[in-house]
Copies of this chain bind each other. A is one copy, B any other.
Amino acid sequence: MTIGEDLTAGSRGLLLTDLYQLNMMQAYLDSGYTGSATFEFFVRKLPKTRNFLIAAGLEPLIGFLEGARFAPEELAWLRETGQFRKEFVDYLSELRFDGDIDAVPEGTVVFGNEPILRVTAPLPLAQLIETRLINLMQISCLVASKAARMVLAAPADTRLVDFGLRRAHGGEAGLLAARAAYLAGFAATATVPAARLWGIPILGTMAHAYIEAHVDELAAFRSFARSRPDQTVMLIDTYDTAEGARNVVRLAPELAAEGIGIKGVRIDSGDLESEARRVRAILDAGGLTDTGIFVSGGLDEWELDRLRRNGAPITGFGVGTALTTSEDAPALDCAYKLQEYDGRLCRKLSAGKATWPGRKQVWRSYDDAGTMAGDVLGGADESHAGEPLLQPVLRAGERVDGIPDIEAVRAHTARQLAALPAERRGLSPAAGSFPVTVSESLQATADALATEIAERNRRAAERLS
């Protein structure tokens, strides 16, 4: 096996986890802690530069869980290390995900401390999947949330295209980013396997190398148009952008005679607004009024917003780095925490990281105009007004009916963005937080549990003294 294959093989099996998960699992099994556990995945606090998050990553996670097992070569390696008992490795070899998942549907707007996903499974199993679950969910939520900001900022009737695979952190991030951007409202991606895996529209133009490999720019435009007559977006900034636009005009009659139209030009450098205006004038003067202007290079939501406000004559945007790395906020303060074990509520009390105990639900209310008005966070068995956000997804490892496909998720996201309160739609940080009320019952339960835990620990210490 080459290391290249190892890299992807290394992401496939359940061995892709933190060592402490295996240590804890063996200890759980040793002391009989194999009862049912409930964990929840949530974001503690939104990044300063996010007014909302978009839940995403559920479908890739479910796909991972459905195929989750230790590969034979992983089990063989675990045995070789001598670090784990034979019975434990045998147990791992049989492990499949047969638990329950409840989750907020992909594309839904979420806020801090709201459970996005809930896992109920035997404790060792629910513990094991923590690392990979966060690893798959975080990048999806990051990119969907960043993409949503771009969708809100971009000019109406323009297309946003994900160009970010190369700057994504590894191949899997690039694929997950293409998917997350599309569900958040991007029109297409340049990432080819996103079409094969999820049916996402793909789009591509040409690189500067294509121009440079030819003796001159006109020769490059001509050969590309003849080879790919349906994809004629000419990259015009390799040498001199205005001259590139003039070359497109010069070449147009010759190509028209062959039945080839020039769909668009791409500008990838300089001040995109002034370059677009200059190029639009050249194309229009040359009669190419239907040829679009596609821009790329360092775009983010702020630049999209500026180009929209200034009315730059641009028809499409290729967005890369800022999108697929969520550049201004490349991580979420997210966690996957034990809330209940074997019918007993659990709670972490660490400074700044205390959790709300038990299985929880979020109820969302809307005002008369259909705008999100406020959420209630409470125990899953409470009753509150509003729409409950978490829905069943897996039961005993099997999918429930009605999990939406990516087009349905995309439509749902668009409705969610339309229902955002006005102050959360802007790019600048909104004043205050979206109102998320913790129910009185949950608050009382949490307080009582804190007291009870302190008491249990006090008695245990006494017994030992």
Contact = CB atoms under 8 A, between A and B. Distances in A.
A17 interface: yes
A135 B204 contact: no
A408 interface: no
A218 B457 contact: yes
A196 to B, nearest CB: 5
Contacts of A219: 460
Contacts of A64: 2-4, 7
Interface string A30-72: 1101000101000000000000000000011011111110000
Nearest to A213: B341
A160 to B, nearest CB: 16
Interface stretch (A245-253, A360-368, A389-397): A245-253
Contacts of A315: none
A268 B135 CA distance: 20
B228 A23 contact: yes
A270 B10 contact: no
A175 interface: yes
A165 B10 contact: no
A95 interface: no
Interface in A64-97: 64-68, 74, 77, 81
A379 interface: no
A36 B13 CA distance: 40
A57 to B, nearest CB: 10
Interface of A: 2-13, 15-24, 26-28, 30-31, 33, 37, 39, 59-60, 62-68, 74, 77, 81, 123, 127, 130-132, 134-136, 138-139, 142, 163, 165-176, 190-193, 195-197, 202-210, 212-219, 223-224, 226-228, 231, 237-241, 243, 246-247, 250-251, 254, 268-270, 321, 325-327, 330-331, 334, 337-338, 341, 344, 346-353, 453-454, 456-457, 459-461, 464-465
Given A33-B213, A241-B350, A269-B352, 5 more contacts: A3-B62, A77-B196, A135-B170, A212-B346, A239-B457
